[in-house]
Structure 1
Amino acid sequence: MAQTTNVYIWDMDETLILLKSLLNGTYAEAFSGSKDVEKGIELGKTWEKYILQICDESFFYEQIENYNNPFLDALSQYDDGRDLSDYNFDHDGFNTPNDDVNKRKLAYRLRVIAQKYKQGLSGVFDHETMVLWNALYDMTDEYTDRWLSSAQSCLKECSVGKEDSTSLAASDRGSGVIRPTDTQHINVLVTSGSLIPSLVKCLLFQLDSLITHENVYSSWEVGKLKCFQWIKERFNKPNIRFCVIGDGWEECHAAQIMQWPFVKIDLRPGNSHRFPGLTVRTVGYYFNVVYGSPDAENDEE
């Protein structure tokens, strides 16, 4: 039986997280007066402050913000693998990366960023700071009626597939045995924001355990279509299926060109294509409309 791979390609802002709509009040306004607009704006400003602070203090953003890359491994060919434990990033003479020397220095920084992402915020910052950020997350989750935690839960379901996890629990309960499933599931993020702040958002909004740094792409300079093409080439193998989930016209248009299903997120309350509301079962419906049901194919075999 051939394994099917489902690749979920997520937008970030106003899809997995809420930030812009908090800052400009559009999220609260959709509730026709039942949400405190100013509270949402204040939450958004606090997130924005922390994102920029972490970018600058721990992720070299002041040094490299003008050299946005579409993904962290974009300059890996220039990285000679040097031990960076005693490397002085403040005095290495890093300048515009037009030559191989400065591209290598930039590659060093990207490598360290990848390592910090793998560690997670708790591996970089102290307990007191983590408590502060977790409290902000909880306040925002409550204000948005669990948008953040519901999006996180959907990502978790997409990571294993709801049907896969159910059948595993039924067949192997108590055995301690993990059996291979018929379907592999991969979460990829393609955001229109620049790369480093997007990685920091993943960390702050507790998405880093569900989306690896290799699967975070910035379309800031290259556009979403180009990122989608890279992703298709990267995961090119038999029985691969892609689905795009986002709120914007650009990812919708790019998905149409790629002939991939597109799930449009809608902020308005009561809509099933939002959080809470959207489930892996709903996303699976979009997969099956375009690709057909993998179960039906297996039955034919």
Structure 2
Amino acid sequence: MINFLCWLLVQIAKPETQKKTLTVRLFFVSKSSFDLFINFHPSSVHQSSSKGEGLFLNKLKSKFLRVMDRKINVFVWDMDETLILLKSLITGTYAKAFNGSKDVQKGIEIGKTWENQILRICDDYFFYEQIEGCNKPYIDAMREYDDGLDLTDYDFANDGFVGAAFDDDANKKKLAYRHRIIAQKYKKGLRSLFGEKMIKSWDDLYEATDDYTDKWLSSARACVAQCARGNKDSTAPNSSEAENINVIVTSGSLIPSLVKCLLFRLDDLISYDNVYSSWEVGKYKCFSLIKERFNGPNVQFCAIGDGWEECEAAENMQWPFVQIDPAPVSTSHRFPELNLETLGHYISVIYGGDSDDEDE
């Protein structure tokens, strides 16, 4: 449960129902609002309520506040040259940094194979040929235009969608339909779209890439998985279990980035609504959207990437930033060396830990 923080609206059923019913509804505001509601709305909570209901409410409040006091770490990952290696394979810069110990041409071939597969899947299964010019920062950006129409028999090929004119309401609705289908396909995964033969070919390509990059892909995925698990907060040894959330902010277009998540085995760790594209709006805007979405008194952010733009955006947001360097140097700022403990150190430098409060 994340710290958008909620307060509880408790409504006791009217006496004429001759049966008291406790209804709980959640609203996204602050913990202080919850306290004010409990303390200053006695008619909603205590009037006509039994002693048993009062005890239940006190227990509910206590449990709620314990959850709200739990730290939340939001890890904001760059994708290319951070979680995956692709551009540097295609250009040969990754292999050249090893001064002859890696086959440059082999890396280029691996990178181009990935590139071709990504574009083919985007065009054939994710409407990319139609909506390439309609890039949005996240997949739910058009949700307000989706009227919930049943799309089971919808003819996407002949619905008159014009990508170049997507600013009018009719095309916005059609774009929203496509985004809904893309989200559904992402949730179901590649195995719902392709047979075992195709899946095996991608698995083989993944393993070949992982071997060529000294386990970069698998170790990056393992680090994200480590962050995704509920675990003891390394920045506060005496604190309760922390909740960790992984978010991707990529400089690439949104649809190819979602397909990359699927192909590079990140889809079970990062949901489609946690993938952001800064292609048009920039990293700072995406970081601001993420802060607005997850912000709360116990939320800590950490950005991880290889580029200057995410570094500058993190600095402006006053977030810790971990600079990734794919070059073969002796550093913990590359995979497979980077892990949750290192990220926790960066978080503690900016945010401190519970021990600081105890000393006071």
Task: Tell whether the 8 Å contact from 1:162 to 1:280 is kept in structure 2 after alignment.
Answer: no
Q: Which amino acid aligns with 2:337?
A: G
TM-score normalised over the length of structure 2: 0.77
Structure 1 partner of 2:320: 261
Structural mapping, 1:1-301, within 5 Å: 1=66, 2-95=69-162, 96-160=165-229, 163=232, 182-269=241-328, 270-294=330-354, 296-297=356-357, 299=358
- Residue 271 of structure 1 and its aligned partner are, at CA, apart by 2.2
What displacement does 1:182 show? 2.5
SS of alignment partner, residue 333 of structure 2: coil
- Larger CA deviation: 143-152 vs 1-10: 1-10
Aligned-partner Cα distance in 2 for 1:14–1:248: 9
Instruction: Decide whether the 8 Å contact of 1:190 with 1:218 is kept in 2.
Output: yes
| Partner Cα distance (1:47, 1:101) in 2 | 35
Contiguous gaps of at least 5 residues in structure 2: 1-65
- Are the aligned partners of 1:51 and 1:200 in contact in 2 as well (CA < 8 Å)? yes
> Residues 78-117 of structure 1, C-alpha deviation per residue, up to 9 Å, x if partnerless?
0000110100000001112121111000000000000000
Question: Which aligned runs of 4 or more in structure 1 are off by greater than 3 angstroms?
Answer: 161-165, 294-297
Give the partner amino acid of 1:128: K
What does residue 169 of structure 1 align with? none
Alpha-carbon distance in 2 for matches of 1:221, 1:195:
10
Alignment correspondent of 1:172: none
Aligned residues: CA RMSD = 1.6
Answer 1 or 2: higher relative contact order, Cα 8 Å, separation at least 6.
Answer: 1
Q: Which amino acid aligns with 2:218?
A: S
| Counterpart secondary structure, 1:90 | helix
Q: Deviations over 1:134-192 (max 9, x none)?
A: 00000000000000000000001111255369xxxxxxxxxxxxxx9521100000000
* SS of aligned partner of 2:334: coil
Aligned counterparts of 2:355 and 2:180: Cα–Cα separation in 1: 41
| 2:285 counterpart SS class | helix
Write the distance in 1 (CA, Å) between the matches of 2:183 and 2:202: 21
Query: Aligned to 2:232, what secondary structure does the other structure show?
Result: helix
Q: Does the C-alpha gap of structure 1 residues 116 and 209 become closer, same or farther in structure 2, counting only changes over 3 Å?
A: same
Give me the whole-angstrom Cα distance separating, in 2, the residues matched to 1:203 and 1:61.
Answer: 15
Task: Decide whether the 8 Å contact of 1:4 with 1:294 is kept in 2.
Answer: no
Percent sequence identity is: 62
Q: Find the residue that maps to 1:243 and give its secondary structure.
A: strand
Q: Could you tell me how far apart the structure 2 residues matched to 1:296 and 1:53 are? A: 53
Pair 1:214–1:295, CA change in 2 (3 A): farther
Q: Distance in 2 between matches of 1:56 and 1:108?
A: 16
Q: CA deviation at 1:125?
A: 1.0
| Structure 1 counterpart of 2:57 | none
Displacement of 1:295 in angstroms is 5.1
SS in structure 1 at match of 2:322: strand
Whether the 8 Å CA contact 1:161–1:280 is kept in 2: the answer is no
**Gap change, CA 1:203 and 1:181, over 3 Å in 2:** farther
Q: Distance in 1 between matches of 2:157 and 2:293?
A: 35
Count of residues paired in the alignment = 286
Partner letter of residue 221 of structure 1?
E
Greater C-alpha radius of gyration: 2
Q: Is 2:231–2:241's contact at 8 Å kept on the other side of the alignment?
A: no
Distance 1:234-1:93 versus aligned 2 partners, 3 A rule: same
Find the aligned partners of 2:74 and 2:290 in 1 and give their Cα distance.
Answer: 9
Partner amino acid, structure 1, of 2:206: Y
In 2, Cα distance between equivalents of 1:193 and 1:246: 14
Gaps of 5+ in 1: 166-179
SS at match of 1:220: coil
CA separation in 1, counterparts of 2:212 and 2:96? Answer: 13
Rounded to whole Å, the distance in 2 between the matches of 1:294 and 1:124 is 47
